[in-house]
Amino acid sequence: MGYHSGKSVNLILGALLCTALCAISAISNAGNVILIIGDGMDDHQVTIARNYLVGSRGKLTLDQLPLRSTAQVLSVDDKNPDRPIYVADSANSATSMASGVATSVGRIGTSAGDDRDLVNIIELARKKGIKTGIVTTASITDATPSAFYAHVSLRDCENPEMMVEVETYFGTIIDCSQDLKSNAGLGSISEQLVDSGVDVALGGGAKHFIPLGEGSDQTVLQLAEKTGYQVVTTALELATKGSGKLLGLFSPSTMPVMWRGEGGRAAEKPVPSLLNSLHWTLGSVTYPEPMDCEDNPEYIGMPSLALMSETALSRLTADDDTFFLMIESASIDKQSHQRKACGSIGELQQLDETLGVALAFAESHPGTLILVTADHGQAAQLVAERTLFSDIPMPVYSPGHVARINTLEGEVMAVNYATNDFIIEEHTGVNVPLLSNAVGQGLVPAMVTQPEIFNIIKSHLLKQKQSDPINRI
């Protein structure tokens, strides 16, 4: 339980990098922006993680940020952009933050209705000579990171082989043929990453760089190396000092999470007795047994989110450059889809440790704006272990799936998943947190919409007024 011991390699490597970072003289890079996104990190997820990691009276690093706001997630209908859709996905919510325009589910950097490319913050930054970086525990071609550098009509079009007639999990055929380079488009997401000029890109997704580039006899990875990227694939390679553009691919797809439920357990359904099955007021209901969180053996050898972020900061500031860095802790969301509370908790711990790295960096680099937020809400509710009706002589229990987790406080924490009764849980439409360090004073109001986060970033990074018009390509 609590903070596990399977991170010694990451800690050693991180210490080496920290030494280098801390040696950088204190300078005022007034435009620096570090945006940290916890995918699916609503207040339920934060509370569950806090209870497990530091106890109900403890404080996460997140809790110590001085500015606390709320972001409203906006989504629109693809055929009628004036019609609101109340629950977003990572693609359109990340596009809101990256480009300042609310779009429809599944779109990456493109507008609903007319399918126009939207100018993103990385494109604006690069025009000003500002360095840029992407760090994620997902594939670097996944929805959230790709929204900051790519433009495709559908998030599934991650490599050249996935552009035409690709089946999703549910049998739907996707088609991004209009985005092919041969059709005057920008190509698949992995190709666009190579073409984007992003200075640092670290995460999973190696499989999306294996196919040949469209119309090329070279793989996307070879094309990346040809354009000047140093490619690393292990934590040890990542810690090697260097300069210039860096591409890190540490897993075929999403990187493994740090923790799992013991034996790989996920939330389970309470089991009613035969008598209760006949009538809801009768018989009894058996809850799943409590579980501990344990180290995930698949995580061994993976670079932590903190280590990847330290490396990115080192590269981006090698010449005292101003920069924009987006960091995503992706599997708060992905593990919640699978009803795996321990995986989500461990991923939120990674975000919290990474925030510590960002805050340490900001201390020696005055004027660095740190924003922490989520792209959308997710399934997972903290529910009563003992219900209000426990003394009534009839079974009363929460619907859906339940994970009962042993905590450091010697209690059992019940986490409920009940957005549907199908194989995966769904997002929710709740507002999400928006937190900032003191540099955000006067920039971050008490409540914003997600497109306004783009304006906050632009205002600080480019020294443009938040009211300046949003351009489209």
244-276, pLDDT tens digit by residue?
Answer: 999 999 999 999 999 999 999 999 999 999 998
Output phi, psi for 450, to 5 deg. Answer: -60, -40
Alpha helices in 5-58 (DSSP H): 8-23, 43-53
Q: For 68-82, 361-375, 376-390, which range has the lowest pLDDT when averaged over its residues?
A: 376-390
Mean pLDDT across 114-138:
97
CA distance 36 to 392: 46
Question: Does residue 467 sit within a domain?
Answer: no
| Residue 32 forms part of a structural domain | yes
Whether the Cβ atoms of residue 361 and residue 70 lie closer than 8 Å to each other: no
The stretch 15-20 carries a mean pLDDT of: 49
pLDDT range class, residue 397, cuts 50, 70, 90: confident
167: in domain: yes
Residue 125 lies in a domain: yes
The three-state (H, E, C) secondary structure of 232-252, written as one string: ECCHHHHCCCCCCCEEEECCC
Q: How confident is the model over 8-31, as a mean pLDDT?
A: 48
Does an H or E element contain 228, and which?
none
Residue 293 in domain: no
Mean pLDDT, the chain, rounded, equals 91
Percent of the chain having pLDDT more than 90? 82
In a domain, 321, yes or no: yes
Active site residues: 90
Tens digit of each residue's pLDDT (9 = 90 or more) over 136-176: 999 999 999 999 999 999 999 999 999 987 776 667 777 89
Note down the domain range covering 213.
Answer: 8-264+299-380+429-462
Q: Enter the DSSP assignment of 385.
A: S
β-strands 33-38, 369-373 pairing:
parallel
**pLDDT above 80 (res 17):** no
pLDDT in tens, 54-65: 999 999 999 999
Does residue 356 belong to any structural domain of this protein? yes
Cα 318 from Cα 29, distance rounded (Å):
13
Tally of structural domains, the chain: 1
Share of the chain above pLDDT 70, in %: 91
Query: What span, in angstroms and rounded, lies between the C-alpha atoms of 266 and 342?
Result: 8
Given this model, what pLDDT does residue 439 score? 97
Q: Give the tokens for residue 58.
A: 């403890």
The answer to pTM > 0.85 is yes
Residue 388 falls inside a structural domain: no
pLDDT tens digits, residue range 436-451? 999 999 999 999 999 9
Tell me: pLDDT of 29 over 50.
Answer: no
pLDDT band at residue 204, thresholds of 50, 70 and 90? very high
User: Can you give the CATH number for the domain in which 374 is found?
Assistant: 3.40.720.10
